[in-house]
Chain A
């Protein structure tokens, strides 16, 4: 079965650079979520999109932005990178709006290292 695809798997950037992370949800899933997991931490919700519109916003810094495109893939854009942005970034997708509860399926994550 198709899973959530994230790219790249690993990314090394210097301080003040920009980074773009990509997420391809499971086909027919209508909602995408972005999470940030720092070393030894629990995943923290950043932002979500439902049918290409921003659905909810969590602890996402103003330096970050995200969007969901017509093909439902999503991109997380990160500017003016700081050392503290080094983390594992997860994308999850889900199909909502039905009586059956579909679990949140996570991708393998992008490990961002800022040096």
Chain B
């Protein structure tokens, strides 16, 4: 079946850059997403990238996509303590009305 994998933990210092990595299996995925979840809260869409793009930048966020290796990364520049959360990578599976398949999530801890 389809699978999305992420490393479970990442710890950085405030002001540093954070890079969260993700690999996926469905080569036909057209859109890939990054969601942020704070403790006890819902899923907040951070950004997404279309499969014909290599990179997308949105303020402090940079998404890199290596379609050949099915590898997606999210870089957060100048990481702040408020960025501490769980970050989920997700791929859209099943076409236009398809559902999202999530990775296990990466818990980002930002130390002051």
Using a CB–CB cutoff of 8 Å, the interface residues on chain A facing chain B are: 31, 33, 35, 41-45, 48, 50, 55-56, 58, 90, 92, 96-97, 101, 103-109
Contact = CB atoms under 8 A, between A and B. Distances in A.
A57 to B, nearest CB: 10
Interface residues of B, number: 22
Contacts of B33: 103-104
Which of A31, A55, A101, A109 has its CB near the most chain B CB atoms (within 10 A)? A101
Contacts of A90: 42-43
Contacts, number: 53
Nearest to B49: A101
Given A56-B99, A92-B100, A103-B33, 17 more contacts: A33-B99, A33-B100, A42-B105, A43-B88, A43-B102, A44-B102, A45-B100, A55-B97, A90-B42, A101-B50, A103-B45, A104-B33, A104-B45, A105-B45, A106-B45, A107-B42, A108-B42
Interface of B is mostly: strand
Interface of B: 31, 33, 35, 41-45, 48, 50, 88, 94, 96-105
Nearest to A109: B42
A64 B103 CA distance: 24
Which of B97, B98, B99 has its CB near the most chain A CB atoms (within 10 A)? B99
